[in-house]
Chains A and B, each alone.
Chain A
Amino acid sequence: MSLNVSNLTVHHGAICAINQVSLAVPTGKLAAIIGSNGAGKTTLLRTLSGLNHPTHGEISWEGQSILGIKAEMLVRRGISHVSEGKSVVPELSVRENLELGAIWRRNNKESKESIDRVVTIFPRLGERIEQRADTLSGGERQMLAIGRAIMSKPKLLLLDEPSLGLAPLVVEQIFQTIRDLASSMNLTVLLVEQNAMGALKIADLGIVLNLGKVVAVNHAQALIDDPAVRAAYLGY
């Protein structure tokens, strides 16, 4: 297991957002985390990337505890987080947003090579490389956000609602890209989604959160076939 979370509890003030959550994701697997609003999905990702701090519990990554390590240091350990709502810097150009992802390496040559790689994956970003990020469409911004994350050559990719506010056709493309990236780079991925069906379709395993607790963990396909999950999260 590359990512192990045990008995994780996170509070926002007096409110318990995550309650005794335990989960494990093997190396190279794509896990979809689904659940309704307020289930604690975003808090879980933010805690894993070091933006939020747990009240108690344990997080281990590649066999070592990463509890209390700051977000800016976790990037150096291979954890990349694309936070909710198209995590790009609107005032910066597409190129600068990408450079940002590799800035901590302090190696401009490597950064340029990484940009070339991202542009091969997302040719649209190549066409708009000198444009400011706020001139991009929603889908392009999401591509840029993911592009920035893979610039740091992550081993664990945390994605928070990449489909949010995108047209159905674009959502399909983004999901397909995430699947391809995970496979080709042997990434471990945690994909938080409201679009439960879309996420489960590309995932290896599914984790269902409800009111801060894990209520189901299974193979993604098994969750799709589960009548209770269907009724509650897939809408049919």
Chain B
Amino acid sequence: MDFLNTFLIGITAGAIYALMAISMVLVWRSTRVVNFAQAGMALLSTYFGFEAVSKLGSFWIALPVAMVGGALFAALVEMILIRLLVKHSSTGPIAGVAPIIATLGLLGVIRATAAMIWGGQDVRIVGPVSNDGYSINGTTLVFSPLKLLILVTVLVLMLILSLVFQKTNIGLALRASAYAPEIAKLSGIKVDWVRTLGWALAGAAGAVAGMFQTVNGNGTLSPDSIEFSLLLVSGFIAAVIGGLDSLIGAVIGGLVLGLMISFVLMYVSSGLFFIAPFVILLTVLFVRPQGIFGAKAARRA
């Protein structure tokens, strides 16, 4: 029973990490930027979600509100900040690094702004269903209706995302722009807009991760939330495990990471909460630096 419990907890946490990893990968693929502000953006989106919950009362309305808010905010960040920095930092020693450092700055700005707006309030989001564990033969599991719901929702979202990527023209444009921007342009794709769209999708995925991370935890939200710092770290590690370039890699990276952390905490020591993810990251980087799904060959010119 312990094993099943650990497995289910790990897979649920992993599904949330996978969403976060997907948003890191979408941003990386569209602009080649590692977005350290992703957790900050997820935090902000979750505050949007909180506002919607407190005004409209329904988690199921708040979730899309958070997604749309997160998508719009991410799109604005790309259009105003990243596009400019990528264009203007093509030469010099900080070329290529400037946008990444800028995302660190953005993280600080988002947190400080959130603290100014929501800092004094008791911000709480209650999940749509109970987080009390299921009982089997008198034993109570940690796995709950809420966790099941999270798992199913994440899977459905991933299915939709993969259909969009594989079966639609928008998906083809997103992939072509990521792999070969010049050929995409020559094919008539407005690559700048596709990049913005990539950020917007990332913002929406991050918003779902933020909402679920909050309700899956103790339901409270604060600007300096440790849950969100962990979300960033885990999302990043999951994305790296998956090769940073692959959406499937991000999903598997997230699930693997969630499971590994869960099993380490259960069977090794629960004190390893903050160490386990980093040990896993370092191991992956040593053994397979290109990630599990990353291409080995250097990108061609």
Interface residues of A (CB under 8 A from B): 49, 51, 70-73, 75-76, 80-81, 83, 85, 87-92, 96, 99-101, 103-104, 106, 108, 148, 152
Contacts and interface: CB of A to CB of B under 8 A. Distances in A.
Interface string B168-209: 010011011001101111111111000000000000000000
Nearest to A71: B185
B72 to A, nearest CB: 24
Contacts of B188: 72-73, 75-76, 103-104, 152
B191 A103 contact: no
B185 A101 contact: no
A108 B167 CA distance: 12
A51 B182 contact: yes
A184 B191 CA distance: 32
B185 A100 contact: no
A92 B185 contact: no
B175 A103 contact: no
Contacts of A101: 187
7 contacts: A71-B186, A72-B185, A72-B188, A85-B300, A92-B176, A101-B187, A104-B187
A73 B192 CA distance: 13
Contacts of A83: 182-183, 186
Contacts of B179: 89-92
B301 interface: yes
A92 B175 contact: yes
A74 B221 CA distance: 50
Contacts of A87: 182-183, 186
Contact of B183 (A76, A89, A104, A108): A89
Given A85-B301, A89-B176, 12 more contacts: A72-B186, A72-B187, A72-B191, A80-B186, A83-B182, A89-B179, A92-B172, A99-B169, A100-B187, A103-B173, A103-B176, A106-B169
The 5 closest A-B pairs by CB, nearest first: A104-B188, A75-B188, A71-B185, A100-B187, A89-B180
Contact of A51 (B172, B176, B185): B185
A103 B186 contact: no
Contacts, number: 72
A87 B183 CA distance: 7
B172 to A, nearest CB: 6
Contacts of B191: 72
Given A72-B190, A89-B180, A90-B300, A99 B185 contact: no
A72 B176 CA distance: 13
Most chain B Cβ neighbours within 10 Å, of A89, A96, A101, A152: A89
A87 B175 CA distance: 15
Of B173, B183, B188, B301, chain A has the most CB atoms within 10 Å of the CB of B188
A141 B34 CA distance: 32
A148 B182 CA distance: 14
Given A76-B188, A90-B300, A103 B172 contact: yes
Contacts of B189: 72, 100, 103-104
A148 B180 CA distance: 14
Contacts of A76: 188
Contacts of B300: 85, 90
A40 B166 CA distance: 39
Nearest to A152: B188
Contacts of B172: 92, 96, 99-100, 103
B5 to A, nearest CB: 40
B175 to A, nearest CB: 7
B38 to A, nearest CB: 24
Contacts of B187: 72, 75, 100-101, 103-104, 148, 152
Interface string B59-82: 000000000000000000000000
A28 to B, nearest CB: 22
Nearest to A89: B180
B83 to A, nearest CB: 15
A83 B183 CA distance: 8
A100 B176 contact: yes
Interface in B74-127: none
- For B172, B187, B300, B301, the residue with the greatest tally of chain A CB atoms inside 10 Å of its CB is B187
A83 B175 CA distance: 19
Contacts of B182: 51, 83, 87
Contacts of A73: 188
A118 to B, nearest CB: 14
Contacts of B301: 85
A101 B173 CA distance: 11
